[in-house]
Structure 1
Amino acid sequence: MMYSDIPAAQTLVLYFESRGVKNIVISPGSRNAPLTISFTKNPFFNCFSVVDERCAAFFAMGMAQHLQEPVAVLCSSGSAMLNFYPAVAEAYYSDIPLIVVSADRPSYRIDIGDGQTIRQENVLEKHIGYSANLKQDVSHATQTISKYGKSLLEDGQEEIQEHNEREITKALAVAFDEKYPVHINIPFEEPLYGRVEEPSVQIQNLEAQAAPDSPMEENWDELSEVWRHSSRKMVLVGVNQPNAIETEVLEILANDPNTVLFTETTSNLHHPDFFESIDSIIAPIEKSEDREELFQKLQPELLVTFGGLIVSKKIKAFLREYKSKQHWHIDTKKANDTFYCLTKHIKTNPNQFFKRMGTNGSGESDFKAFWEHKKDGYEKKRKDYLEEIPFSDFIAFDRIIKNIPKGYQVHLANSSTVRYAQLFAMDRSLQVFCNRGTSGIDGTTSTAVGSSIYSEQPTLLLTGDLSFFYDSNALWNKYIRQDFRIVLINNSGGGIFRILPGKEDTEEFETFFETSHGLSAKHLAEMYGFEHICAKNEAELEDALEGFYSESDKPKILEVATPRVLNNKILLGYFDFIS
């Protein structure tokens, strides 16, 4: 075992080991050498080398999301850390405990014209649970400090050590207890590569000063009374971890005739009596002559939400216009007022909440039965529509989703991908993930690769062309498993812009919004050691899917080419058809 000879580096490594932070994703650099040496020379840690910092952060975030525990990402000083920011923002809004560790230059090197120096302290503060700014050790490189940074010598090494330990303890407490990303910034002076076999510091187990808020006591009798006597209840579920909700709870909700439960693909909830395609219910109402009457009929008295962010723009627009009298959000940590009618934040978990609410109320309404009839109608019409349309994104997603083997971990890219996936039922054995915290296209592939590392099941990434090419450096590492699969829907541009307001058939639209292109993943696949298969029509797609998931010596990319100028017409036509 080997350690850096710099006390701050030793301290961080010892605290990580004591708290069980085992996984460290490292982007190469010189200023972070003290930490790289200490982590890689200690067999307790699993270290991963990912060159591109943006990819590294999403890789670590995907791993933390899968393991449900803190994972650290480490970089050198300067602009390197700024590339972590997209993943930090995603982790912040998705409650993922990503630990960002940045090596820094000494304070007297900053803003004097030295290379790779920026103002790193608190640079992530708007999207971080805690920023720990460590102090530079004065027992290391003392001669240099005496020459350039005499003010640092005002604090003795003992005070600096106490400060650093206290800051690290606070940061780790926030990561573990509150599931927020945290930032630890450590300044190092040269020399950076000194090593010792035994650490010169002994850490203390200091308690963090700030503890998470304790859950509020609820008046459960009062809540249960409202729940049981609400004749029109709507339960809406956003992003949810697989297997988080107990079967007993699912049955309670499914058997309540006064409750309509809307799930999203990212909710990982399945039951024949749940409504899995929200937009297929809302879109026909939008186009109906009886729009007002039907929306009022769907309007809930009580709206109960849990899970993360909602994908469907249609349900958000509906609930903002036709507000529920009461909106309860169930979460131990936070409640977003997504629909501008939040009345109660119930700080418990959904399993406990619904068990306490019970089932039927004093009377039954036709609320659920009416909308189940509508659901049966659109499901039949969707089958009819698929038989009428030419090859397109719509058909491709239907075939791809139907053919995913049971038990797979599925990562969805944002934009068009996750929205198409909302229209088709996923098998209940699949575990579905998507970066819905900020809903960006950056980092989708990196997140899937990181998540796959410790997955007991194979991983499938279902992605669009812009998301894939934007994050192509995600394939630039040696950790991609042979059973990793990517299905790439290549419609030669940002297809989602063709279904949004403002779409025009002009050169400017194609260049600056849709960003049309003629790229293929073939050469990227060859460079990174993937097997590449291409499908350009329905027959080729079905043929390719037959052997796509079979065992192989290489990971695979199935690239599905679809018609750029036709996809939007077919998607919008679907909503017309089921109406």
Structure 2
Amino acid sequence: MNTANRNTLWASIVAEELYRSGVRTVCISPGSRSTPLVIAFAELRDRCDDFQILVHIDERSSSFFALGVAKVQQAPVALLCTSGTAAANYYPAIIEAYYSRIPLVVLTADRPPEMRDCGSGQTIDQINIYGKHVRYFFEVGTPEIIGFRLRYLRSLISRSVSIALGKGETPAGAVHLNFPFADPMPPIPIPNDIPEDLALSSPEAMLGNPSGNAYSQIWAGTRSLDTDIIATIANQIISHPKGAIVVGVYDSPPEFVGAVRRLARATGYPLLIEATGAHRRDEIGHYDSFLRSSNFSKTHAPKIMIRFGAMPTSKSYLLWLERHIGCQQIIVGSINSDPTHGLTQALNVHPVNFCEQLANYLENYAQPVWQDKQWRLDFELAESIAEHTIEEAIDEIDELFDGKVYAELAEILPEDSYIFVASSTPIRDLDTFFHSDHAITVLANRGANGIDGTLSSALGAAWGCDRPMVLICGDLAFYHDLNGLLAAKKYQISLTVILLNNDGGGIFNLLPISKFEHTFEEFFGTAHGLNFAPLVTAYDCEHILIQDWEHFENAVIDSLFSKGTQVLEIKSDRLRNKELHFAIWNKVIENCDRNFQL
């Protein structure tokens, strides 16, 4: 404990209690008002080899970097900044953490109350600055060195970490603790600031939990459903053999895939999996393509849909649901996530527990004769048609086409690699064109579906794991977070960035607004004409402009086994990309319509 003054002791207890509560990484941005906490974290790192500090000049990049670390490690990460607008730069990442259920512990320094709202420099109203997008907020108060207040501080920190992890009454997400500090900020000794007998009069305050664990602990089990509820759902399934199971965007636990596959067998339903939901093996992965077929989507009306994770990215899936709005949706693990506003049953239950409970019931108490095998076979046929149509189309394309990038990566990437995919077109193309026999984990910031912070999140995820990481992003997402590359330089992070540069917002070319040529390019296409090569090399990263597919394959393989960050840029034409996308989709529609007559 640093007992130079009340600020240093207060901050030392915060750092120690965070560590005891499971925080092993803190991302810090420079500033004066946060000095006591910075010193405390630096001293903690000197004592604990497994405690890591990363310094980011840009608070927005820092917060998304922390998000990437927390996402890949599934562990809480702390953020620390000074007072003023520094805290506001965390907001986009906090919103993403809220919707993605990622545990962040946000520590903002502040001036003491008497120095607020009076013209004091670098001071804004930081009370509840993040609104409802944090799971918990608390104004910590100025340091006061008495036993009761120090015990309160320990209890507050440890409980806050538990809340961030989702062990309380809310899902995982960010918590915000606001720390006002009066001078002095550095560890300047102040006589009589710390009572000499504090360790004797209040040992819990100074030493914490004697066991070395967190001071206040929250234990949380996994929720299960009563047998009568499981029986009710099972009877619904038996009464409606034409159903489906879908896995949308979902950071699933390792045991989930086996459990949901077992449930699919027990129900007889086709299992539709988005690339960001789980590894697809023999499941239905091309549903976005074949649901574009009017014949298929009209003739295949689901009566029950069991969904895990967020609503799938696929627009054709959403339209299919809206066309058959009478379908009963059973949404597992999420209370309100149905933008169709259809008939829903939301189950506040652990997804793996639910799969196992329902599969057990169906296997033991129901005969599979009720299953509609033709229904499932139709989905398997549509999957096969879409898969082969897309493969044939991709094989015939020699030019640099965004969609083919994913098909090539499916052949190149080794087992247990990671893909971090940006929002907008990349995540949709990944779902359509990436189908690998290898177990590849896909990460994405799909809570709020924004492009901000993509590069920093991927760098954080790459720093936080020991497996190959590939980021796929468009030029606008890359430009939007260029500051994030400083972390790649500073911490020698190994990341392969595939930069798909079609000079603007390619997603808009695929939308109806592209037909309005008078306003399209200025407001939606937004061509920038940037040369990324010097920008990349300014951060000591390697830039490679891809010439053809052989060059791409060699560059990816070399990058995966190289140190540092390499940016592999693929230039393409937005209009040509649009033509190729629609040519492939139209061929899938034609082949499906021919096989599924009205």
Q: TM-score range by the shorter chain?
A: 0.7 to 0.9
State the one-letter code of the partner of 1:310: P
Structure 2: distance between partners of 1:65 and 1:377: 35
Give yes or no for the alignment of 1:107 onto 2:113.
yes
| Residue number among 20, 23, 34 corresponding to 1:21 in the alignment | 23
1:351 Cα deviation after fit: 2.8
Which residue of 1 is the match for residue 70 of structure 2? Answer: 64
Give yes or no for the alignment of 1:238 onto 2:227.
no
Which residue of 1 is the match for residue 415 of structure 2? Answer: 406
5 Å-filtered alignment, 1:138-287, equals 161=150, 164-176=153-165, 177=167, 178-194=171-187, 202=206, 203=208, 207=216, 217=226, 219=228, 220-241=230-251, 244-245=254-255, 248-253=258-263, 255=265, 258-272=268-282, 274-285=283-294
1:492–1:517 Cα contact (<8 Å) kept: yes
2:224–2:354 Cα contact (<8 Å) kept: no
1:257–1:368 Cα contact (<8 Å) kept: no
Q: Deviations over 1:428-469 (max 9, x none)?
A: 421110000001001111111111223121211111111111
1:113 Cα deviation after fit: 1.9
**What's the TM-score, normalizing by structure 1?**
0.88
| Residue number among 123, 126, 130 corresponding to 1:117 in the alignment | 123
Which residue of 1 is the match for residue 382 of structure 2? Answer: 374
5 Å-filtered alignment, 1:123-522, equals 123-137=129-143, 161=150, 164-176=153-165, 177=167, 178-194=171-187, 202=206, 203=208, 207=216, 217=226, 219=228, 220-241=230-251, 244-245=254-255, 248-253=258-263, 255=265, 258-272=268-282, 274-285=283-294, 290=295, 294-331=296-333, 334-358=335-359, 361-365=368-372, 366-389=374-397, 390-424=399-433, 425-477=435-487, 478=489, 480-481=491-492, 483-504=494-515, 506=517, 508-522=519-533
State the one-letter code of the partner of 1:442: D
User: Is the partner of 1:300 in helix, strand or coil?
Assistant: coil
Structure 1: distance between partners of 2:121 and 2:286: 53
Structure 1: distance between partners of 2:587 and 2:189: 72
Structure 2: distance between partners of 1:212 and 1:250: 20
1:402 Cα deviation after fit: 3.0
1:277–1:423 Cα contact (<8 Å) kept: yes
1:239 Cα deviation after fit: 2.2
1:253 Cα deviation after fit: 4.3
Structure 1: distance between partners of 2:408 and 2:523: 31
Give yes or no for the alignment of 1:49 onto 2:58.
no
Would the alpha carbon gap of residues 452 and 375 (structure 1) be closer, same or farther in structure 2, given more than 3 Å must change?
same
Structure 1: distance between partners of 2:423 and 2:376: 31
Residue ranges of structure 1 left out of the alignment (5+ in a row): 140-156
Structure 1: distance between partners of 2:131 and 2:222: 20
Structure 1: distance between partners of 2:35 and 2:347: 46
Would the alpha carbon gap of residues 163 and 552 (structure 1) be closer, same or farther in structure 2, given more than 3 Å must change?
closer
Structure 2: distance between partners of 1:548 and 1:271: 26
Would the alpha carbon gap of residues 206 and 393 (structure 1) be closer, same or farther in structure 2, given more than 3 Å must change?
closer
Structure 2: distance between partners of 1:73 and 1:404: 33
Structure 2: distance between partners of 1:23 and 1:276: 36
State the one-letter code of the partner of 1:440: G
Paired residues, number:
552
1:534 Cα deviation after fit: 0.5
State the one-letter code of the partner of 1:422: D
1:231–1:258 Cα contact (<8 Å) kept: yes
Structure 2: distance between partners of 1:267 and 1:453: 22
Structure 1: distance between partners of 2:405 and 2:73: 31
Q: Deviations over 1:241-299 (max 9, x none)?
A: 36624565354345458412111010123231x111221121122xxxx4xxx434322
| Residue number among 555, 577, 591 corresponding to 1:567 in the alignment | 577
1:542 Cα deviation after fit: 4.3
Would the alpha carbon gap of residues 464 and 208 (structure 1) be closer, same or farther in structure 2, given more than 3 Å must change?
same
1:22–1:46 Cα contact (<8 Å) kept: yes
Give yes or no for the alignment of 1:534 onto 2:523.
no
Instruction: Choose 104-113 or 492-501, whichever is displaced more.
Output: 104-113
Would the alpha carbon gap of residues 414 and 248 (structure 1) be closer, same or farther in structure 2, given more than 3 Å must change?
closer
Q: Deviations over 1:126-155 (max 9, x none)?
A: 20100011111356xxxxxxxxxxxxxxxx
User: Is the partner of 1:15 in helix, strand or coil?
Assistant: helix
Instruction: Choose 227-236 or 30-39, whichever is displaced more.
Output: 227-236
1:476 Cα deviation after fit: 0.8
| Residue number among 103, 117, 122 corresponding to 1:97 in the alignment | 103
| Residue number among 527, 532, 536 corresponding to 1:525 in the alignment | 536
Q: Which has the higher helix share?
A: 2
1:47 Cα deviation after fit: 0.9
User: Is the partner of 1:533 in helix, strand or coil?
Assistant: strand
State the one-letter code of the partner of 1:352: N
1:23–1:71 Cα contact (<8 Å) kept: yes
Structure 2: distance between partners of 1:49 and 1:120: 22
Instruction: Choose 535-544 or 87-96, whichever is displaced more.
Output: 535-544
Question: Share of identical aligned residues, percent?
Answer: 28
1:224–1:356 Cα contact (<8 Å) kept: no
2:463–2:494 Cα contact (<8 Å) kept: no
RMSD between superposed Cα atoms in Å: 2.8
1:313 Cα deviation after fit: 1.9
Residue ranges of structure 2 left out of the alignment (5+ in a row): 199-204, 590-598
**What's the TM-score, normalizing by structure 2?**
0.85
User: Is the partner of 1:228 in helix, strand or coil?
Assistant: helix
Structure 2: distance between partners of 1:481 and 1:242: 29
1:230–1:301 Cα contact (<8 Å) kept: yes
2:542–2:566 Cα contact (<8 Å) kept: yes
Would the alpha carbon gap of residues 335 and 446 (structure 1) be closer, same or farther in structure 2, given more than 3 Å must change?
same
